[in-house]
Structure 1
Amino acid sequence: MRAAMAERIWQTIKRNKTLQYGVPMLLLIIGGSFGLREFTQIRYDAHKRHGKIDPALEEKIKKNKVSLESEYEKLKDAKLDDWKNIRGPRPWEDSKSLQDKQQ
């Protein structure tokens, strides 16, 4: 009797398109979101662990701070008007002879 009842339920499930295709699709979507959450959490935990640097290196970086203003002062005095555009060699050209001609 139990086997017959289980067989009848199984036949009903096989005939019903919602139970055959819809429920597995919903399980895949919902289960996938939980799975992706776990994988992304692993990524963020690994980044947090590897993101820490040595305190001595951190002090060295803070001491050797380069600002935008200091780089501007270096470039302000450079002469940028008298440069020459030199193209690179084509694959079929000899690079050494072309460089010698251009210099």
Structure 2
Amino acid sequence: MFNLKALQRNKTVKYGVPMLLLVVGGSFGLREFTQIRYDAQRIRKKLDPSLEAKVNVQKQSVILEEEYEKIKEVNLDEWKNIRGPRPWEDSKEYQEQQRTRETKKD
């Protein structure tokens, strides 16, 4: 009896043990909730099997050397950098202005 009353008055047992249980138990609880989140995302991102097969084939067929050869064939000397329109500018009108400027310079 005396030991039980002494334990109830002890601040470590009264405040520390529940806090420790809350922290440790909370980490396990959060792990379960986050696992539910990731499982739901995995289910939502499932692709149609035929589409998934096409995507996997395309990923495997890209070879770095082939892509390098394609880029070597592009003529970068004639390339012009044209700025895109600002949010307040009309995009079609601005693009027409840029194209006409390019033809006037040539």
Amino acid aligned to 2:56: I
Aligned residues: 94
| Kept in 1: contact 2:7–2:13 (CA 8 A) | no
**Residues 42/78 of structure 1: CA separation in 2 closer, same or farther (3 Å cut):** same
Q: TM-score, normalised by structure 2?
A: 0.58
- Equivalent positions of 1:2-81 (< 5 A) are 9=5, 13=8, 15-39=9-33, 42=36, 47=42, 54=49, 57-58=52-53, 61-62=56-57, 65-81=61-77
Give the C-alpha shift of residue 77 in structure 1. Answer: 0.6
Aligned identity (percent) is: 59
- Greater Rg, structure 1 or structure 2? 1
Unpaired segments of 5 or more residues in structure 1?
none
CA RMSD of aligned residues (A): 3.8
Q: TM-score, normalised by structure 1?
A: 0.59
**Residues 30/55 of structure 1: CA separation in 2 closer, same or farther (3 Å cut):** same
